[in-house]
Amino acid sequence: ADNFIAQTLYKKLGFQEIIEMKQDVFQTRIDGAAQTDRRVFLVKKL
């Protein structure tokens, strides 16, 4: 699933993506399909 809406929300709240930190995670879904997801990391400076 696309998380564009969630990322947009957090960016509006002042979070920024850490460009050099991304992680691919391989997992089996509830329906049994194996899939790789890309995780992005956000940070907010206080």
Render 1-46 in DSSP notation, one character per residue: ---HHHHHHHHHTT-EEEEEEEEEEEEE-TTS-EEEEEEEEEE---
Q: What is the pTM for the complete model shown? A: 0.69
DSSP 45: -
Two tokens at 24?
Answer: 């691919």
What pLDDT digit, counting tens, does each position of 19-41 carry? 999 999 999 999 999 999 999 99
Q: Tell me if 38 sits within 8 A of 26, measured CB to CB.
A: no
pLDDT at residue 2, rounded to an integer: 73
